[in-house]
Amino acid sequence: SFTGYDCISVYHDFRYHPQEVTTGTMDDYAYDTYGWFGFTIELWDAPTAAGIKKEDLIQWFRWHPPEDELTLLRWSDEQLGGEGFIDWQPFEHPQLGGVEIGGWNFKRVWQNAPPQYLQELAEQHCQFAIAHGLMSPKLAARVRLTQEGAGVYYLLLQLENQGFLPTYTSKKALERKAVRPTEVTLVLPEGAKLIAGKLSQEIQHLEGRSNKAFRSVARGSDYRCTVEWALKAESGSEIEIIVQSERAGTLRQRVTVGNQD
C-alpha cells in the first residue's frame, strides 16, 4: 500500500517461462538461508504511474492491448509535457540511409523515473522500509522482586514479545537452525547467593502478533514467558537481568534490593 505496487512471489509469479523458476536473487538467499523476509522493491514502474492495471508484469511487457499504449501516451502528454515520447522524424543514417528515429525516451521513462516523481518515490519506499523494520520482534520486560525472609528474595521476570514477528522470524529460520534461542542471564552483586534458578539459561522463542490474525491458530500466552529465581542479597545492592535475542536485540533490567514495593 505504501508503494502502490503489487506484492508478488518470485517463485510463483515472476517467471519468464511457466516451467522455469527465476533464481539467484538475494530474496531467495535471505529466506532460504536465514529465514529472513526479503523484498525486491522496484523504484519505478511507468505503466503503474499511468494507471494501467496488469495481472502479470512479464506477460504485459510481451503483449498488451493498443489501448494501453494510448494511455501511456496520454500520461506522457499530461504529466511529462510530452517529453516522455519523441516524435518520429526522418534521419539520414551513414550505413542504413534514410530511416526514422523516435519513440519512448527509454532512460527517462522506462528505466528511470522522471525527475518530478523522485521525491514521492523516495518517500513511499522509505515508508515501506520503515514499516518492514517495525515488524521485527520487540522485547519488553517486567521485573518484580519480593522479600521472602531475612535477606532472601524472590525475583520474577515476565518477558514478552510486543512485535509483529516472532523472535525466530520465520519457520524457515527454525528449519535451517539459523537462529539461536533467547538467552537470559542473571548478574548478581558481590556477596549475593543464588538459591534457586540458573545464572544463565535459554528460553523458548516467543511468538508475535503475526499468528494472532485468526483465532483458530492464536494462543493467548505464546508471546510471553516467565523466569524465576530465589536469591540472597544485601539491601541496597543491584541485580541485573540481561536478555539477549539474535533478532529482537538485547534488553537489560536492573533492580535494587530493598527498593521493591
Instruction: Delimit the domains of the chain by residue range.
Output: 10-134, 139-256
Summarised one tens digit per residue, pLDDT across range 5-34 is 888 888 888 888 888 888 888 888 999 999
Summarised one tens digit per residue, pLDDT across range 179-199 is 999 999 999 999 999 999 999
Q: Give the pLDDT band (50/70/90) at residue 203.
A: very high
Looking at domain 139-256, its CATH architecture is Sandwich (2.60)
Maximum average pLDDT range among 51-60, 73-82, 251-260: 73-82
Q: What is the pLDDT of residue 162?
A: 96
142: CB partners within 8 A, 6+ apart: 157, 158
Residue 52: what residue type?
I
C-alpha to C-alpha distances, 111 to 45, 106, 125, nearest whole angstrom: 8, 6, 17
Which residue matches cell numbers 552483586? 189
Q: What is the pLDDT of residue 58?
A: 87
